[in-house]
Structure 1
Amino acid sequence: MFEMNPDVPKDPEKVERILVSATKIFAKNGYLQAKTADIAKNAEVSKGIVFRYFGDKGHLYLATVTDVIKRLTDQADFSVWTDAKDLGDMIERAVRYKIELQLEYPDEFRLSVQSFGEMNVLPAEIQPAMRALWQQQTTTSLTTLEEPVLDRMKLRPGVDKTILKKLLSAIGTTVFTDAEAFMRQHPDAKIEDFEPIIKQIQAEYEILEYGFAAK
């Protein structure tokens, strides 16, 4: 978990209550409209404790999003991805599974999706860390989820796997950019609203896998 003030002694139970409260209130109201006083009240701690533990509202938001991503990652069944027969199958499985998780963890998913579109309204000193967090998630996704699928696929002789991974990484970067732009225009979007982007990813993977020139 990200900590603004790592040297400050903290009560783990209060930290947990603050993060749970912040998840709910940030997800409901967004960064700009959420009030630290409401988060503190809902967590049954003083506003001073929130600031002492996390520094300010921006760093509390960053810590909350970081915690949410960790919690969702800990709950995820990665076999949904890694057991896929090819990249297209993996994307389809992933979309369905994410919708199931969204129904089970609505606040966590809403906040994680929202955090894309809210990057440009965060304090300037928070934006690089939030962007780095999501770019790291994209990189981890390639390594943890896509590589096992690639390892099972029969590659054409002469294909350099290192170059292939770079191409997949480039697609991942495009996905990150497209998703961020989409969230700016649709701040209340749900996972299923990303279907056009998912279909775009599938098409890109299909072209990458089968080529684009006529035989």
Structure 2
Amino acid sequence: MFSKFLNIDKEKQDRIINAAIKEFAEKGYDRASTNEIVKEAGISKGLLFHYFQNKKQLYLFVFDYCYELVIGEFYKKINFQETDFFMRMRQAVMVKMEMLTTYPDIFKFIQEVFMEESAEIKVEFDKKKTELTHINIEKVYEGIDYSKFREDVDLKKILKIISWTFEKMSDEALYRAKLSPTHELDYQTIQAEAEEYFEVLTKCFYK
């Protein structure tokens, strides 16, 4: 679908992608202007729509690009030799915090996507987010030593409770960010809150 764009030189690709990330992250989907994107990228509007049929296609492409970049780097940094469930989860939080300093604009954009309410893309992205969450839960649990968990409680239920806990924590953090003028997530607070839950859940579900 995006072969025309992928065939141009890397420097021009980067200019267009970076301009789109900046505009979408700052203004959200509905308010983002393709005029501003082409101005920032130094190309014509006709050329942008030669590569992408419309703003929605551009948004979808940029999200997939950013997500694949971040998730690829994330899994390179995760030590899958660590088989303790909660140590793996702590590691995941620390890696994410580290990557926030490396890719601030990309994380800002992805954060805005997860808060996006535009009717034009909301249904499609809600489905995509659900699918990606499921895929990544399976991946991050890979190789875990489940023998540490209590045997008198169903393991599947334990994992569901843990997943629901952090999904709800994430939802609450996003909701607080939506209410703030800057839409900024307080990652230090989130990290501290996650650690509190790790301690409680360890006591509840480990032998």
TM-score by length of 2: 0.76
Structure 2 residue matching 1:129: 3-state secondary structure: helix
Among 138, 154, 161, the residue aligned to 2:148 = 154
Q: 2:163 aligns with which of 144, 169, 179?
A: 169
Match of 2:39 in 1: 41
What secondary structure sits across from 2:151 in the alignment?
Answer: coil
What fraction of aligned residue pairs are identical, expressed as a percent? 25
In structure 2, what is the equivalent of residue 69 of structure 1? Answer: 67
Q: Distance in 1 between matches of 2:106 and 2:45?
A: 23
- Alpha-carbon distance in structure 2 between the residues aligned to 1:32 and 1:82: 40
Counterpart residue number, 2:184: 189
Q: Structure 1 pair 170/199, CA: closer, same or farther in 2 (3 Å)?
A: same
Structure 1 residue ranges without an equivalent (≥5):
1-5
Are 1:208 and 2:201 matched, yes or no? yes
Unaligned runs of 5+ in 2: none
Q: 1:49 to 1:56 in 2, by over 3 A?
A: same
CA distance in 2, matches of 1:87, 1:194: 22
CA offsets, 1:43-79, max 9 Å, x none?
3433133334433324422321221111111222455
Matching residue's letter, 2:114: F
**Change over 3 Å in CA distance of 1:137–1:178 after alignment to 2:** farther
Deviation at 1:148, TM superposition (A): 2.9
Displacement after TM superposition at 1:195 (Å): 3.2
1:141 paired with 2:139, answer: no
SS across alignment from 2:94:
helix
SS of residue in 2 equivalent to 1:10: helix
Shift of 1:28: 4.2
Distance 2:59 2:44 in 1: 17
Alignment length (residue pairs): 200
Which residue does 2:48 correspond to in 1? 50
Is contact 2:20-2:62 (8 Å) kept? Answer: yes
After TM superposition, the runs of 4+ consecutive aligned structure 1 residues lying more than 6 A away are none
2:25 corresponding residue in structure 1:
27
TM-score, normalised relative to structure 1: 0.74
Q: Is the aligned partner of 1:16 residue 2:13?
A: yes
Two-structure CA RMSD over aligned residues (Å):
3.0
